[in-house]
Amino acid sequence: MEVRTRFAPSPTGYMHLGNLRSALYTYLFAKANGGKFILRIEDTDQSRYVPGAVDVIYRTLKSIGMQWDEGPDIGGDYGPYVQSERKNMYLPYAEQLVKAGKAYYCFCTEEELAARREEAQKRGETFKYDKHCLHLSEEEVRRRLEAGEPYVIRQNVPEHGEASFDDVLYGHIAVDCADLDDMILIKADGMPTYNFANVIDDHTMGITHVMRGNEYLSSTPKYNLLYDAFGWEKPTYIHMTPIMRDATHKLSKRDGDAYFEDYLNKGYLKEAIVNYVALLGWNPGDEREFFTMDELIKAFSVEGMSKSPAIFDVNKLTWMNAEYVRRLTPEQFTEYALPYYEKAGVGAEHADLLARILQQRTETFAQIPDMLDFIPQLPDYDAELFTNKKSKTNPEIAKHVLKIAIAALDALPAWEEQPIHDALLGLAEKEGMKNGTMLWPVRIALAGKQVTPGGAIEIAILLGREESMRRLKIGLDKLNA
């Protein structure tokens, strides 16, 4: 049997990290077993449709190397792969169930249902549809249909007995049919409900393994009643645990930690995000933490999936991202960093130098503007910054250092790294002071802050001769004041 899995997102916005992991595990399972990965767009709820969201789905999956074998844009033998384009196929299946007594037409209005729901609430009961329309005669049903009355089609769940299924992770799960509601299959607008469309689409597309979040565990018994009603073979179910921000809270859209693109915009590498998400709820069975997509395919197995909720640790993601950043070539680093140089107001003419001083210090690319904020504009700083015990500098020493440094640097014929290096360290040797004693006051004057990604020499190159000399003189003026 060929393994066929599907990722079936709703086009309601950006890619949630939970959806990304579902897609990833579904893709990895299919490819690890030599099977097919199908993309299906589930847009039955048109009220939640967001224009452009389908393109976001395409872009996200393609950018991380998850190419589908069948889908809306490339077709396949089981299309269409967009539910709204399959609309006409669902009603005949529902009508087939009506004829078999497994479903029925329901003409109850929203007002009637609301009144019954309120009565149940007053009694302290959980509202469940009372099968009122199940008992209408065939003649009355026909009359009301011919009169054009709005209706839905409901599943006729048995009032007694057990509905059950076996999940690869959670084992055997059974529920009392008396606790299940007669869910709507076809809505008043003629569109199928999410649950009904899922069953029809999965069967007609030959899906063998359904991987989805464990919030669907409670719905699956009703799905299986539908499979039984049609006499269809059920797929294998693999329900995944949620990704949590902590032990009690899910990832929050409001806090900006729920979507894949949130982290791209924060300067994380997509490869690091995917690698980290892969490890949220799955263990390779060894000590490895870093995987390419091909390595994930080879290592992935359902046996490594966890039944416990996965905790999203942004500090661990940041650590992993920093490791990915360090593994980039200088050219790759520069390519990613260029937009952040621009945001910082820094030109890319010294890209090689910037990569050299920033790459080992960068955890996320969004940190770069703050690390370079002193370059476009000298911060307002206090002369006390020139005092540093480790470098053995104080205002008097700093004043002397800047005075001789200005003279030496001003005399340089070329403003290049090696001449600046030789001039400053040559002064330190001549004055009988440590290199740090010479370089600290120069760096403070150039940057106006204690912590910088590069040293005095690198900063001087980034600023250029004119700006460097201007700042050195400002520093000397502060010390003379």
Query: For residue range 49-104, what is the model confidence (pLDDT) as tens digits?
Result: 888 999 999 999 999 999 999 999 999 999 999 998 998 999 999 999 999 999 99
**Rounded mean pLDDT, 396-419:** 96
pLDDT surpasses 80 at 300? yes
d(CA 24, CA 4): 14
Q: Which two tokens stand for residue 208?
A: 């063998």
Three-point CA angle 93, 96, 99, nearest 5°: 155
Chain mean pLDDT for the chain: 94
Intrachain domains 4-81+243-314 and 383-480 with the same fold: no
pLDDT of residue 257: 67
Domain 4-81+243-314 sits in which CATH superfamily? Answer: HUPs (3.40.50.620)
**Rounded mean pLDDT, 337-345:** 95
Q: Please, which pLDDT band fits residue 187 given cuts at 50, 70 and 90?
A: very high
Query: For residue range 351-365, what is the model confidence (pLDDT) as tens digits?
Result: 999 999 999 999 999
Q: Please, which pLDDT band fits residue 454 given cuts at 50, 70 and 90?
A: very high
CA distances 219 to 16, 173, 222, 313, 460, Å, are: 22, 11, 6, 30, 65
Query: For residue range 235-257, what is the model confidence (pLDDT) as tens digits?
Result: 999 999 999 988 888 876 666 66
Helices (H), ranges, 43-107: 53-63, 87-99
pLDDT surpasses 80 at 210? yes
pLDDT of residue 91: 96
78: closest CA among 193, 217, 204, 216? 204
CATH number of the structural domain 383-480:
1.10.10.350
Task: Specify burial of residue 139 (Cβ count, 10 A radius: 0-12, 13-18, 19+).
Answer: exposed
**Rounded mean pLDDT, 172-179:** 93
pLDDT of residue 256: 63
User: Among 3.40.50.1440, 3.10.180.10, 3.40.718.10, 3.40.50.620, what is the CATH number of 84-240?
Assistant: 3.40.50.620
Q: Please, which pLDDT band fits residue 13 given cuts at 50, 70 and 90?
A: confident
**Rounded mean pLDDT, 391-415:** 96
pLDDT surpasses 90 at 25? yes
pTM: 0.90
Q: Which two tokens stand for residue 107?
A: 């003409």
Strand partners, 163: 175
**Rounded mean pLDDT, 431-456:** 96
pLDDT of residue 327: 97
- Contacting residues for 102 by C-beta, under 8 A, at least 6 apart: 155, 156, 226, 229
pLDDT surpasses 70 at 381? yes
Per-domain residue ranges for the chain?
4-81+243-314, 84-240, 336-371, 383-480
pLDDT of residue 324: 98
**Rounded mean pLDDT, 376-400:** 95
Show which residues are catalytic: 253
Do 439 and 346 meet the contact criterion of CB atoms below 8 Å apart?
Answer: no
